[in-house]
């Protein structure tokens, strides 16, 4: 019949299938079909289809809609209740194993929880800024952080893609005077008035558009306002900075912690001329740009080469001596350009460009790896113990199977059990994590609070993690245990309960490998740190005290210096514009030849006592003298510079800064480490500073006074401080000893070392827990064997060795895996240091193996001896 | 006697099932009602009534008779139970009793007066 060739609308059938109770569906469908075919004949196909759909919709009544009982049969819920009950009973019965399982897992989860907190926080940096996806930092070249003053404004004028720009400089410290009270505050910046259009700032008081338009204006954060003006309205108040009055034109909410740009206060630039001054080769500002929606950073970057040729080129060739920029490029000069870095990448991917935040994508990776490994060890424990215990459960499994359990149901049962353990571990891990939160904050250099730990977001992630761990760690035992043959299980064949011995041993060996690897890393990191601490820098850093901010002494500088020289403990003093271990900037110099070559040299202005104060060794020529007027254009270089310049005879050669500024090299000092030992000694040029602290062009630069101190340091510091306080009112006394200052350069590495110590300790602790339980289990199963051996004449020593040697093999296997991996990874890490320890020291690798072996022996040996000393009759008398 | 709870449409369906005897299922019941009363009804309403009657135990059902017209799906045949029969009789007797008690006064509007 032709009418049966038609089909009713699919959607209606699908909908019916979706909602309808299965046992009624057939009848409803049948009636609907019958009507449909009849209507095809009488009403036509279209009407029949429409009516079919309508009928199906009319059947959508509570009576016919699937209920819970149709999705899951009620029986399953009852079974799950039973699984839960059995799980609790078996956990309680095997208290020892349960405690080890749960405590190991909760330690691992706690570590993961803390690390998860850290990683989530790292990845959230700067996301709170509106339009963060459109904000870019303009880098000088590929990653130079400082850019020319007019770059931002000119780019905005020339490129339609750029919506807004802002320049920042900082961070710096500033001393404020409020009603004769002095406050020294850090994290200060200067910014253009467009600041609030790039960054999201919440103004509590003041007009965002007007706040930074006038010179001598300042925006302060709410917390700084509360500190400077307690119980007062801060808005509109005046502050005194270095004799100038500055008006508070805005009070803003404190920026959140997760930003690369954390400020305490923001000042307007002194005046417009100051910031537009500076040619295109003077890089002093950070420039941020917000692109218009839809514009890509690549399209802006593509325009920069032409931009550079137009604006930067003419300024550049003034110093290089070329006729124009094209010639400069043709003769092999380095092309200048600018690139755009997304603001949200600054914290993790360009930490040197971040304004104060300390992030590193490598830390994120390392922390993740550590978390993963620790959790892996804990999960391995879990799997091992569950399979090892299977002998005790084999009868239960057999009985369940005989009574009609399907394999799937048994798998469910064991998964419920592992989930239960994981959930208990999760609750414990929250407690453990809050105990160690402070320690972790130090380790990660962050400030997490308990409320961060208990935030819904964190907890839901933890729950997700727990479910995954419970499922993964529980699935192997579940599938393994549920696979028992019921008959053999009920007969109590001991073999069946042994589990996959090979797999279990492999997992234990893997745990050892992770532990050994982590100890190797710890040892290498600390050896390197000690090596750097002991390294001869070329001077005595512990003898050099640097007094900061000597610029504020002004006319009293001479008096202060004279007063210091009276002190018998102070041998020598000299004034500098920077100090070693702190940031020293590089300046461009060119040689005076037919084909001038350009060099970028680290530039330090010092008075002539510097050689003596620092105890530097002169290799060639002489040091400049402040007494000789003719020495004003004399410079001293270090050996690295000499090597870079590659003259046969370096003394007497001239270097130029362009515009007729020429300097004659009159001496060479032996290389000394004036910066982090991560870098080798870079070319340095020492230039003369006048006794009154003036540098070239009468600029004042004498901001740091280096003192060579012998004898009693504490007393000397007190002397210097009282001398300072007598002369200076507005600036607190601030000083540093160079050895401390150098040490602080390795803060990151020290944290790294602590992280490895903590994680290797944790890894070993968890692995030992597992090992302890596993050994207990093994001995329990071999009790009769050991008793028989003893009866046949084996000594306690023989028996102990028998068990211990089993585990020692696993340590050896672990070592074989861990040593090459550790060597490879730590070699990579050491490559970031210019001065490094010799990693081919076998002690670095053998010691961790021995440590782990000893820990394993102690863990296993104690129990083995106990078992071996037992009375064999007790083990053998019952069968 | 217990109270018999039978709605107007239910009564109609029950009667039709009784009339159709062996061939009472959703469609046939619907068509019979449509033919006898000239009411337009939806199949889902019939199903609903049949289900209600079954849950009141006035009907019982069995499944069978897959045919091509139904796309190979089976029918659910309904038959009237003893309780269903009793209920029909009860309702009928009650009606009759009530009808007989109507006084024979002709209001000129009362169509029942002629009965």
Asked whether the beta carbons of residue A27 and residue B27 sit closer than 8 angstroms, the reply is no
Q: Name the pairing type of β-strands A244-252 and A570-576.
A: unpaired
Residue A163 in this model has a pLDDT that exceeds 80: yes
Mean pLDDT of A388-405: 80
pLDDT band at residue A686, thresholds of 50, 70 and 90? very high
Listed in sequence order, the residues at least 6 apart from B48 whose beta carbon sits closer than 8 Å to its beta carbon are: A61, A63
Residue A33 in this model has a pLDDT that exceeds 90: no
Chain B residues in contact with A33 (beta carbon < 8 A): 69-71, 73
pLDDT at residue A866, rounded to an integer: 86
Contact of A52 with chain B, judged by CB distance below 8 Å, is answered with no
pLDDT at residue B2, rounded to an integer: 56
pLDDT band at residue A497, thresholds of 50, 70 and 90? very low
Report the distance separating Cα A779 and Cα A617, nearest Å.
Answer: 68
Query: Residue A139: beta bridge partners?
Result: A339
Q: When comparing pLDDT for A731 and A848, which is higher?
A: A848
- pLDDT one-digit tens code per residue, A67-122: 655 555 556 677 788 888 888 888 888 888 888 889 989 999 999 999 999 898 88
Between A26, A55, A58, which is nearest B73 by CB? A26
- pLDDT one-digit tens code per residue, A498-555: 556 777 788 889 989 998 998 998 899 889 988 888 888 888 888 899 998 888 887 8
Per the CB < 8 A criterion, the answer to whether A226 and A219 are in contact is no
Look at residues B75, B85, B88 and name the one whose alpha carbon lies nearest to residue B47.
B75
Residue B110 in this model has a pLDDT that exceeds 60: no
Q: Name the pairing type of β-strands A634-638 and A684-688.
A: antiparallel
pLDDT at residue A274, rounded to an integer: 55
Average pLDDT, rounded, for chain A: 85
For residue A850, is it left (φ>0), alpha (ψ between -120 and 50) or beta? alpha
Residue A775 in this model has a pLDDT that exceeds 70: yes
pLDDT at residue A496, rounded to an integer: 47
Asked whether the beta carbons of residue B43 and residue A61 sit closer than 8 angstroms, the reply is no
Which range has highest mean pLDDT (A93-97, A114-118, A471-475, B101-105)? A114-118
Give which of B29, B34, B43 to mutate to test A binding, by max A Cβ within 10 Å. Answer: B43
Query: Residue A188: beta bridge partners?
Result: A172, A265
- pLDDT one-digit tens code per residue, B7-41: 888 899 999 999 988 888 888 999 899 888 888 88
Q: With pLDDT > 70 as the criterion, what percentage of chain A qualifies?
A: 95
Tokens of A449: 């609070």
Asked whether the beta carbons of residue B76 and residue A58 sit closer than 8 angstroms, the reply is no
Q: Name the pairing type of β-strands A238-241 and A244-252.
A: antiparallel
pLDDT band at residue A714, thresholds of 50, 70 and 90? confident
Q: What is the number of other CB atoms lying within 10 angstroms of the CB of residue A102? A: 22
- pLDDT one-digit tens code per residue, A409-462: 888 888 888 888 899 999 999 999 999 999 889 888 888 888 888 888 888 989
Query: Residue A238: beta bridge partners?
Result: A247
Per the CB < 8 A criterion, the answer to whether A218 and A268 are in contact is yes
Which range has highest mean pLDDT (A380-384, A631-635, A638-642, A838-842)? A638-642
Give which of A21, A24, A31 to mutate to test B binding, by max B Cβ within 10 Å. Answer: A31
- Residue with token string 């820098």: A537
Asked whether the beta carbons of residue A29 and residue B73 sit closer than 8 angstroms, the reply is yes
Contact of B60 with chain A, judged by CB distance below 8 Å, is answered with no
pLDDT at residue A275, rounded to an integer: 57
- Cα Rg of chain A (Å, integer): 38
Per the CB < 8 A criterion, the answer to whether A56 and A64 are in contact is no
Contact of A41 with chain B, judged by CB distance below 8 Å, is answered with no
pTM of the model: 0.71
∠ CA A339-A340-A343, nearest 5°, is 150
| Three state DSSP letters for A464-523 | HHHHHHHHHHHHHHHHHHHCCCHHHHHHCCHHHHHCCHHHHHHHHHHHHHHHHHHHHHHH
Distance of CA A264 to CAs A21, A190, A352, Å?
66, 11, 20
pLDDT band at residue A269, thresholds of 50, 70 and 90? confident
Angle at which helix A361-388 crosses helix A456-482, to 10 degrees, equals 40
Contact of A242 with chain B, judged by CB distance below 8 Å, is answered with no
Contact of A501 with chain B, judged by CB distance below 8 Å, is answered with no
Residue A635 in this model has a pLDDT that exceeds 50: yes
What distance lies between CA A358 and its chain's CA centroid? 8
Query: Residue A772: beta bridge partners?
Result: none
How far A82 CA lies from chain B's nearest CA (Å)? Answer: 34
pLDDT at residue A272, rounded to an integer: 55
Q: What is the number of other CB atoms lying within 10 angstroms of the CB of residue B27? A: 19
Asked whether the beta carbons of residue A31 and residue B48 sit closer than 8 angstroms, the reply is no
- pLDDT one-digit tens code per residue, A208-243: 888 888 888 899 999 999 988 888 888 888 888 877
How far B74 CA lies from chain A's nearest CA (Å)? Answer: 6
The sign of the CA dihedral A186, A187, A191, A195 is negative
Q: Name the pairing type of β-strands A544-547 and A704-709.
A: antiparallel
pLDDT at residue B111, rounded to an integer: 56
Contact of A63 with chain B, judged by CB distance below 8 Å, is answered with yes
Tokens of A289: 């740009």
């Amino acid at each position: 019949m032709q009418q049966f060739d038609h089909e009713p609308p699919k959607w209606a059938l699908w909908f019916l299938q979706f909602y309808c109770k299965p046992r009624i569906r057939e009848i409803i469908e049948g009636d609907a079909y019958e009507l449909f075919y009849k209507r095809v004949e009488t009403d036509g196909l279209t009407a029949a289809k429409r009516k079919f759909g309508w009928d199906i919709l009319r059947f959508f009544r509570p009576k016919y809609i699937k209920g819970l009982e149709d999705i899951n049969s009620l029986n399953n819920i009852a079974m799950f209740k039973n699984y839960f009950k059995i799980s609790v009973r078996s956990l309680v019965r095997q208290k020892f194993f349960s405690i080890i399982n749960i405590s190991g897992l909760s330690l691992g989860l706690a570590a993961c929880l803390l690390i998860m907190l850290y990683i989530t926080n790292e990845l959230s940096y700067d996301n709170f800024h509106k339009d963060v996806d459109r904000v870019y930092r303009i880098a000088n070249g590929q990653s130079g952080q400082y850019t020319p003053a007019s770059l931002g404004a000119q780019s905005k004028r020339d490129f339609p893609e750029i919506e807004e720009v802002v320049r920042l400089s900082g961070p710096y410290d500033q001393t404020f005077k409020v009603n004769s009270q002095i406050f020294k505050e850090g994290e200060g910046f200067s910014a253009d008035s467009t600041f609030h259009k790039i960054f999201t700032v919440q103004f509590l008081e003041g007009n965002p558009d007007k706040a930074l338009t006038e010179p001598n204006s300042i925006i302060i954060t709410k917390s700084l306002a509360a500190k400077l003006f307690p119980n007062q309205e801060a808005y509109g108040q005046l502050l005194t900075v270095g004799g100038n009055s500055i008006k508070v034109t805005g009070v803003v909410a404190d920026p959140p912690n997760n930003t690369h740009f954390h400020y305490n206060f923001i000042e307007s630039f002194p005046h417009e001329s100051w910031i537009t001054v500076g040619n295109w080769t003077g890089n002093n500002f950070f420039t941020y740009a917000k692109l218009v929606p839809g514009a890509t950073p690549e399209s802006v970057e593509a325009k920069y080469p032409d931009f550079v040729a137009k604006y930067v080129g003419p300024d550049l060739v003034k110093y290089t001596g070329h006729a124009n920029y094209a010639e400069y490029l043709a003769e092999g000069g380095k092309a200048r350009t600018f690139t755009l870095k997304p603001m949200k990448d600054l914290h993790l991917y360009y930490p040197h460009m971040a304004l104060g935040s300390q992030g590193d994508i490598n830390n994120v990776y390392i922390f993740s790896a550590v978390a993963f490994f620790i959790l892996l060890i804990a999960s391995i424990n879990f799997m091992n113990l569950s399979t090892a215990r299977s002998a005790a459960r084999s009868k239960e499994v057999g009985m369940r199977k005989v009574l009609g359990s399907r394999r799937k149901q048994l798998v469910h049962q064991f998964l419920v059990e592992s989930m239960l353990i994981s959930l208990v571990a999760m609750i414990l891990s929250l407690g453990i994590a809050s105990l160690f939160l402070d320690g972790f904050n130090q380790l990660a250099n962050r400030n997490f609070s308990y409320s961060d730990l208990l935030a819904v977001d964190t907890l839901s992630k933890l729950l997700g993690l727990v479910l995954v761990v419970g499922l993964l760690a529980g699935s192997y035992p579940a599938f393994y245990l549920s696979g028992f043959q019921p008959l053999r299980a009920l007969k109590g064949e001991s073999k069946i309960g042994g589990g996959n011995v090979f797999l279990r041993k492999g997992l234990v060996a893997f745990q050892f490998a992770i532990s050994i690897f982590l100890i190797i890393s710890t040892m290498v990191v600390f050896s390197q740190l000690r090596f750097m601490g002991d390294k001869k820098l070329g001077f005595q850093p512990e003898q050099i005290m640097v007094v900061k901010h000597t610029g504020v002494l002004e006319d009293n500088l001479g008096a202060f210096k004279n007063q210091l020289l009276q002190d018998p403990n102070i041998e020598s003093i000299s004034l500098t514009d920077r100090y070693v271990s702190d940031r020293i900037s590089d300046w461009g110099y060119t040689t005076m030849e037919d084909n001038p070559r350009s060099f970028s040299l680290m530039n330090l202005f010092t008075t002539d006592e510097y050689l003596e104060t620092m105890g530097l060794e002169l290799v060639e020529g002489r040091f400049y003298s402040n007494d000789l007027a003719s020495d004003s254009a004399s410079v001293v270089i270090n050996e690295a510079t000499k090597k870079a310049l590659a003259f046969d005879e370096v003394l007497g050669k001239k270097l130029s800064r362009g515009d007729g500024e020429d300097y004659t090299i009159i001496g060479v000092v032996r290389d000394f480490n004036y910066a982090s030992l991560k870098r080798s000694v870079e070319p340095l040029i020492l230039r003369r500073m006048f006794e009154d602290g003036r540098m070239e062009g009468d600029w004042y630069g004498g901001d740091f006074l280096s003192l060579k101190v012998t004898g009693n340091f504490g007393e000397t510091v007190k002397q210097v401080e009282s001398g300072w306080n007598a002369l200076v009112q507005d600036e607190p006394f601030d000083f540093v000893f160079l050895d401390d200052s150098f040490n602080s350069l390795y803060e990151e590495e020290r944290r790294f070392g602590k992280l490895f110590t903590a994680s290797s300790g944790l890894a070993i602790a968890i692995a030992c827990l597992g090992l302890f339980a596993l050994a207990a289990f093994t001995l329990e199963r071999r009790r009769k064997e050991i008793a028989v051996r003893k009866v046949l004449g084996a000594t306690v020593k023989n028996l102990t060795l028998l068990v211990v040697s089993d585990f020692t093999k696993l340590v050896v296997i672990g070592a074989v895996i861990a040593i090459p991996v550790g060597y490879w990874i730590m070699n990579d890490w050491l490559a970031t240091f210019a001065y490094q320890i010799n990693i081919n020291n076998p002690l670095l690798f053998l010691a961790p193996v021995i440590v782990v072996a000893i820990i394993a022996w102690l863990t296993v040996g104690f129990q083995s001896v106990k078992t071996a000393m037992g009375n064999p009759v007790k083990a053998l008398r019952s069968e | 006697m217990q109270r018999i709870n039978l709605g107007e449409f239910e009564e109609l369906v029950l009667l039709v099932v009784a009339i159709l005897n062996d061939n009472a299922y959703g469609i046939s019941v619907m068509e019979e009602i449509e033919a006898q009363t000239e009411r337009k009804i939806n199949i889902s309403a019939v199903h609903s009534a049949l289900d209600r009657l079954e849950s009141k135990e006035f009907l019982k059902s069995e499944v069978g008779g897959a045919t091509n017209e139904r796309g190979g799906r089976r029918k659910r045949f309904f038959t009237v139970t003893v309780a269903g029969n009793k209920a029909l009789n009860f309702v009928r007797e009650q009606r009759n009793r009530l009808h007989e008690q109507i006084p024979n006064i002709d209001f000129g509007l009362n169509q029942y007066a002629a009965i």
